[in-house]
Amino acid sequence: MPELPEVETVRRGLIPVLQGAVIESAEARRPDLRWPLPDNFAERLAGRRVEAIGRRAKYLLADLDGGEVMILHLGMSGSIRIEGGAVKGRPGRFHHPRGAGGPHDHVVLHLAGGATVTFNDPRRFGAILIVPYDQIMSHPLLAGLGPEPLGNGFNAEYLARACARRHTSLKAALLDQKLVAGLGNIYVCEALFRAGLSPRRLAHTIATAEGAPTQRAERLVVAIRDVLREAIHAGGSSLRDHRQVNGELGYFQHTFKVYDREGKPCQTLHCKDTIKRIVQNGRSTFYCPTCQR
């Protein structure tokens, strides 16, 4: 699944073309993706102006005039392609090529300026919904999500309080979208390495008995923010099917310190250990047993 940096790079790639544009017409080439498309989907989009392109966790949010919001989730293989107009390509940088068109182009938006925005999704685990603006934060997909890790609400004090009573592993806690929104397996592995914390460590150990942050919580917040900012700057993790709208391939994967590096030497100076892989909650975890305690 795409993580926060992948979705954010797609959002930024869409802004020059879609934000402020009028959707002249829309095509729905099949009635469903992961879930059925909204009733009268094409008709409801025709003539609408896209006021803003936002993001909440791993979801893209397109504010439409008339008081509605289009929610888009890329799923495992979804990508967005721009053709025509001044900008062409795909937003988001990804390693494995996505579909270039054809049978997996399921939704096409024709913009008044001549550009088209196409949602391509071979596996159809993506989703597009339209909901009233005043119900967006109470929608089941978004209600209950934790704070954005790059937002002001995410800090060491918050993280310590949220983890204080948790006796699950630290990695499992960070993957809980109710604790912090948008983090996934790749960046949690990388952030824990940067913070020098073992993924096996119990979550409550980053807080004092009173729920105050320890130095571990301080280091972890800094590491999470740094790894996400670097990934966004690089265009996402470049793994699997998530390609930028401009079609470029990313390079952040080449800076991974632990993720998908099982058996390779740890890159920490003077560390002689190798990266280990374990399975936690059905997900692969990569870490250095020497550097992460």
Token pair belonging to 151: 């937002």
Which sequence positions are flagged as catalytic? 2-3, 58, 283
Q: What is the tens place of the pLDDT at every residue in 121-168?
A: 999 999 999 999 999 999 999 999 999 999 999 999 999 999 999 999
Closest listed residue to residue 55, CA positions, set 182, 194, 144: 182
Q: How many residues does the chain have?
A: 293
User: Using CA atoms, how far apart are residues 68 and 70, in angstroms rounded to an integer?
Assistant: 7
Q: Per-residue pLDDT averaged across 200-219, rounded?
A: 98
- State whether residue 143 is helix, strand or coil: coil
Inform me whether the pLDDT recorded for 257 exceeds 60: yes
Q: Is 261 annotated as a binding residue?
A: no
% of the chain surpassing 90 pLDDT: 81
Residue with tokens 């800090």: 155
Answer yes or no: is pLDDT of 96 > 50: no
How far lies 76's CA from each of 11, 17, 121, in Å?
Answer: 17, 24, 8
The average pLDDT across 216-222 equals 98
Say which residue, 150 or 99, is predicted with more confidence. Answer: 150
pLDDT of 242 > 70? The answer is no
- pLDDT tens digits, one per residue of 49-67: 999 999 999 999 999 999 9
* Integer CA distances (angstroms), 279 to 234, 276, 282, 284, 287, in order: 28, 10, 6, 5, 11
104 is in an annotated binding site: yes
Mean pLDDT of all residues in the chain?
Answer: 91
Cα separation, 78 vs 72, in Å, equals 10
Residue 101 to residue 92: CA distance in whole angstroms: 17
Query: Is there a binding annotation on residue 95?
Result: no
Element (H, E) at 194: helix 185-195
Order of all β-strands in the sheet with 116-120: 23-28, 105-111, 116-120, 79-83
Q: Determine the pLDDT at residue 144.
A: 95
**In the predicted structure, residue 227 carries a pLDDT above the cut 80:** yes
